[in-house]
Amino acid sequence: MPYIIIGVSLFIVLVIVANIKIVPQSQAYVIQRLGVYHATWQTGIHFKIPLIEKIAKVVSLKEQVVDFAPQAVITKDNVTMQIDTVVFYAITDPKLYTYGVERPVSAIENLTATTLRNIIGEMELDHTLTSRDTINSKIRVILDEATDPWGIKVNRVELKNIIPPHEIQDAMEKQMKAERQRRESILRAEGEKASKILVAEGLKESQILAAQGEKEAAILRAEAIKEAKIREAEGEAEAIRQVQKAKAEAISLINDADPGEGYLTIQKLDAFAKAADGNATKIIIPSEIQGVAGLAKAVVETVSEEKK
């Protein structure tokens, strides 16, 4: 009998321990009582009534990421392309998530594909390739409204890849190549234009500098010639001043020496001889020359007698 009591007690303890549940962080337990929703356990310790309550679903409250396979969509201009999407969502209401929809991830995938086809069907190819942000925003708003009754919050939707047909890709590559070649031609032409402008400006600048150099050289030559003439004139003037100064000093010396009549007569004879050597056709002989001539004659006769 004691063993039965011990066994029953041990069984009761094990049952109690087995029904003590600790809900970890970022999780929630959906509890059913007799097959009906009873409560949602949040983080902490809880006790489950054996055989009456059960854990219907363990729900993760973390943000989750789902990468859906590429979907075939047709644009407004009848171009078929493949687009795959990535959806970021979080569960905000574990009860609605548990009872709201069967296989919620599959439901989100199908809803995303349908919404994507509707949006892309109203856009042309070029607009589709350049409007990722617009498409992402539209899909997120529609998914968020549709999944709200399921206890799901769609935080973000991204178009991972947009894959057009190979023919379109080849055409786009050719277009991009042509555009690059066009830009290259424009840049080359602009470079040549800039080079020619720089060469012309350099030639103009060199011509201006050469003209300025020639002008400065001519000015310097003129100034040199002017300086030479000035110095030559100053030299001639100085020579004249020196000659006149010498004559003036000679006259001063003669006056200081008080020359006699004979010296003056000889000077007059010299002046007369110089005048006679000229090309003049007429010679005016002053009256004083007669006396001088007589004096000269007397001197000559005296010298002749002394020689005899």
Please name which of 83, 82, 38 lies closest in space to residue 56, comparing C-alpha atoms.
38
> Which residues, in sequence order, are bridge partners of residue 162?
83
The 3-state DSSP class for residue 92 equals: coil
Q: Which CATH superfamily is domain 64-164 in?
A: Band 7 domain (3.30.479.30)
For 100-165, where are the alpha helices, taking DSSP H only?
104-120, 125-129, 132-147
**Inter-residue contact 83 to 162 (CB < 8 Å):** yes
- The region of weakest confidence among 66-70, 112-116, 302-306 is 302-306
Q: From CA 278, how far away is CA 274, in angstroms rounded?
A: 7
Average pLDDT on 254-275 reads 61
- The region of weakest confidence among 115-119, 148-152, 270-274 is 270-274
**Inter-residue contact 147 to 98 (CB < 8 Å):** no
- Residue-level pLDDT at 248: 77
- Which residue ranges make up each domain of the chain? 2-60, 64-164, 168-258, 260-275+285-301
**Inter-residue contact 153 to 147 (CB < 8 Å):** yes
- Over the Cα atoms of the chain, what is R_g? 66
- Residue-level pLDDT at 297: 52
Count of other CB atoms within 10 angstroms of residue 210: 10
Please name which of 35, 31, 92 lies closest in space to residue 57, comparing C-alpha atoms.
31
- The region of weakest confidence among 218-232, 236-250, 266-280 is 266-280
Percent of the chain with pLDDT over 90: 19
Confidence of residue 164 (pLDDT cuts 50, 70, 90): confident
pLDDT tens digits for range 12-68: 888 888 888 889 998 999 999 988 999 999 998 998 888 888 999 999 999 999 988
Q: From CA 143, how far away is CA 89, in angstroms rounded?
A: 10
